[in-house]
Structure 1
Amino acid sequence: MDYPFEHESCFRQVFRTFVCVVLSLLLGLQVYSYFLDPQEALEGDFTDIKYMVMQLTRGLSEVNRKHESLQGEMERISEALPAVAAAAGRAKDALEPSRRSVRHPLDVYDYDRQMADYALETAGARVVDTGETLEHIVYESPVSWVLHMISSILCRECPGASTIIRPGNLPGECWAFRGSRGEATIRLLGTVHVHGLSLEHIPAHISATGEISSAPRLFQLEGLEFRGDPYPHDFGTFEYDKNGKPIQYYEVLQSSSKGFNLVRLKVYSNWGHTVYTCVYRVRVHGELISDQARSTAQVNDDDLRIENE
């Protein structure tokens, strides 16, 4: 970009050249008149030359003053440009909030407002079974340990497992089970065509130890016809990235045309913790099947079974 003071510098060079040419012409005329009439030349023309030189000097001084003023204005504008650009960016974000939502479609704080969760306890879902999983609890007395073991054997459900279907993501608000393998069967709020699931864990920077080796790594989701179904539908095995976002979405690898009321989460490993594994939140996503659609699907299945017989 050409700046005005660059044009001013060119003008000064042209102006100086013009002054030199005029002075040369005047000097030539003075020499010529000196030879024709030396006395008159000495008395008259030197006064005119002195006057013109003074005028030219004043003109150059004015040009220099304007040049310095213009340069100062350009420096002030250059200093103000970063602040103007930042203000323009803030105004643009304020006027276009939709662009921010498109750029960050899975915002951690608004995740539950973007995708329906059919495993949410406050909507009617329940954890009904945890298999042979043993909950990791720091017991205050032997009596509390015995009571916990009895309840686990009779109910086959860890009392803290319901944490994985409740809102809340603060450090410690998780289901901790012993070792690196565990499972939880969740009764959804209805029959659902499962399309995907989300697994949540806290990020390392808010962990008290500064690391999240207790986060699950490899896990599997299954669809069950009934509790204890020996032939569940395998939706796929997935891996949680401990260096990724706190909430990670996984689309099912083997979809099913059938809806399920029960799903089972199986954790096979964690990121290195030798004592326990923590699961903070599990979400199940898909489409809820209405009663009419479910009865129609049941009739079609019965007809197909009759034809096969």
Structure 2
Amino acid sequence: MDYQNEHENCCFYHVFRTFVCVVLSLLLGLQVYTYFVGPQDALEGDFTDIKYMVIQLTKGLTEVNRKHETLKREMERISESLPAVAAAAGRAKDALEPSRRGVRHPLDLHDYDRQMADYALETAGARIVDTGETLEHIVYDSPVSWVLHMISSALCRDCPGASSIIRPGTLPGECWAFRGSRGEATIRLLGTVHVHGVSLEHIPPHISPTREISSAPRSFQLEGLEFRGDPYGHDFGIFEYNKDGKPVQYFEVLHPSSKGFSLVRLKIYTNWGHSVYTCVYRVRIHGELVSDQSRPTSLPMKDDGLRIENE
């Protein structure tokens, strides 16, 4: 049986090979006949068309290569500019961060005073007018200095050291130190101001003599007052200073007011753990100064001046 199958396969192979040879011979003969007997003009025309097509294809490939090189150079240029674009996007994001209401954000110390006006600056006309029941923390050199301080405290509620919080300069020790963790200071601004934000400043730990700032304020509140000692001031919000953040930290008011204030009260409620005293280095008040045209007509200028003098 196997021998019969093998014989059949061999016959089929010979038949197929013969068929292929015959077909190839016929095709070859046809080509030879066409070359020697057929019209030469038609043959030359075919070669001319082929040559034209080859030339067009060559031009197309050259144009494709040129565009590829141009695209490659553009991609390389874009790749080189991506780091600069990412850096610019980062700077834009940092610049937009302060616009988020109620969010604390750190600002560079040197750029801060050039970017935002401070309406609580003593050199511009602001001053401390009251510190309530706050007691200054003073290391007395002698009993006489202690007696003099007690007399001055009884005669004037304005702690002399509190003025340091509205003065430029925040070297170690240039602060208002008061006993415990609770204190307050009323600031007369340089004019009537629509208050938009407040900033608090403290020295960083690396320049502190003790290498820590547990005496820094933590929780504090800002109020707008109609008059000195106003018990129902407008609450701008309660904020928290982060001792691990930047030295200058800005806080946008949580409860804005449509009216302006010439007096604001800063209340410190807690510090970062110091059991003896709290240090406040500098306070800045930011906003927009109210123009003279926006003053109420029912309050004459002279009455306002008298009210200031009576305070």
Which interval holds the TM-score relative to the shorter structure?
A: 0.5 to 0.7
How big is the shift at 1:263?
0.2
Distance 2:148 2:225 in 1: 30
How big is the shift at 1:149?
1.3
Give runs of aligned pairs for residues 197-208 of structure 1, distance below 5 A.
Answer: 197-208=198-209
SS of corresponding position for 2:239? strand
Larger Rg: 2
Q: Cα distance 1:282–1:273, how it changes in 2: closer, same or farther (>3 A)?
A: same
Q: Cα distance 1:153–1:101, how it changes in 2: closer, same or farther (>3 A)?
A: farther
**Does residue 184 in structure 1 map to residue 185 in structure 2?**
yes
Q: Which residue does 2:54 correspond to in 1?
A: none
Confirm or deny: 8 A CA contact 2:190 2:262 kept in the other structure. yes
Which shifted more, 97-106 or 279-288?
97-106
Give runs of aligned pairs for residues 209-228 of structure 1, distance below 5 A.
Answer: 209-228=210-229
Q: Which residue does 2:252 correspond to in 1?
A: 251
SS of corresponding position for 2:110? helix
Q: Which residue does 2:231 correspond to in 1?
A: 230
Distance 2:266 2:217 in 1: 11
Q: Which residue does 1:157 correspond to in 2?
A: 158
Please report the TM-score for the alignment, with normalisation by the length of structure 2.
0.63
Confirm or deny: 8 A CA contact 2:108 2:248 kept in the other structure. no
Q: Which residue does 2:49 correspond to in 1?
A: none
Confirm or deny: 8 A CA contact 2:108 2:246 kept in the other structure. no
Q: Cα distance 1:297–1:291, how it changes in 2: closer, same or farther (>3 A)?
A: farther
How big is the shift at 1:246?
0.6
Give runs of aligned pairs for residues 41-190 of structure 1, distance below 5 A.
Answer: 106-190=107-191
Question: Residue by residue, what CA displacement relative to the aligned partner does 1:142-180 show, whole Å, maximum 9, x if unpaired?
Answer: 111111111112110111000000000111111000100
Q: Which residue does 2:240 correspond to in 1?
A: 239
Distance 1:138 1:264 in 2: 26
Question: Residue by residue, what CA displacement relative to the aligned partner does 1:178-221 show, whole Å, maximum 9, x if unpaired?
Answer: 10000000000000000110000011111111100000000000
Q: Cα distance 1:114–1:285, how it changes in 2: closer, same or farther (>3 A)?
A: same
How big is the shift at 1:109?
1.0
SS of corresponding position for 1:208? coil
Distance 2:118 2:158 in 1: 22
Q: Which residue does 1:68 correspond to in 2?
A: none
How big is the shift at 1:101?
7.1
Confirm or deny: 8 A CA contact 2:191 2:290 kept in the other structure. yes
Q: Cα distance 1:160–1:101, how it changes in 2: closer, same or farther (>3 A)?
A: farther
Q: Which residue does 1:292 correspond to in 2?
A: 293
Give runs of aligned pairs for residues 7-22 of structure 1, distance below 5 A.
Answer: none
Q: Which residue does 2:196 correspond to in 1?
A: 195
Aligned residues with identical type, % of pairs:
79
How big is the shift at 1:295?
3.2
AA in 2 matched with 1:111: Y
Question: Residue by residue, what CA displacement relative to the aligned partner does 1:207-266 show, whole Å, maximum 9, x if unpaired?
Answer: 111100000000000010000112111111110000011100001111111110100000
Distance 1:227 1:114 in 2: 30
AA in 2 matched with 1:266: K
Q: Which residue does 2:19 correspond to in 1?
A: none
Distance 2:231 2:245 in 1: 34
**Does residue 281 in structure 1 map to residue 282 in structure 2?**
yes
Q: Which residue does 2:267 correspond to in 1?
A: 266
How big is the shift at 1:102?
5.3
How big is the shift at 1:107?
2.2
How big is the shift at 1:104?
6.3
SS of corresponding position for 1:295? coil
Runs of 4+ in structure 1 off by over 6 angstroms are: 97-101
Distance 2:293 2:130 in 1: 29
Please report the TM-score for the alignment, with normalisation by the length of structure 1.
0.63
Confirm or deny: 8 A CA contact 2:128 2:187 kept in the other structure. yes
Distance 2:167 2:158 in 1: 16
Distance 1:279 1:297 in 2: 38
AA in 2 matched with 1:173: E
